[in-house]
Amino acid sequence: MGTNLMGELVANNGTYIVNNTTEVTKRIDAIVVLQDTIFTSIKTAGVDTKSTYIAAPATALKAGAIITPINDLQFSGVQLTSGSVALVLG
């Protein structure tokens, strides 16, 4: 999460729902898993960092999981294999 914690918690920059397998590139403060989801990639600065956030990347994350970037970074893109997520925009 960045330095605007309250803004991120209330999603004052909006959200974007991803429910297909097309890569989405946006400034992302958090990823909220809406249903069992398998990620193709979670990118930070254009580089896939999925294994930094998911111990078993080929296994579906359960609905309700929230992924936030470390070290005050933002995610730069997300691509799904299956499922759906809400992106909290930064």
In tens, the pLDDT along 13-64 reads: 899 999 999 999 999 999 999 999 999 999 999 999 999 999 999 999 999 9
Domain 5-89: state its class.
mainly beta
d(CA 87, CA 90): 9
Report domain extents, the chain.
Answer: 5-89
What integer pLDDT is reported at residue 1 of this predicted model?
44
HEC readout, the chain = CCCCHHHHHCCCCCEEEECCCCCEEEEEEEEEECCCEEEEEEEECCEECHHHHCCCCCCCECCCCEECCCCCCCEEEEEEEECCEEEEEC
pTM over 0.85: yes
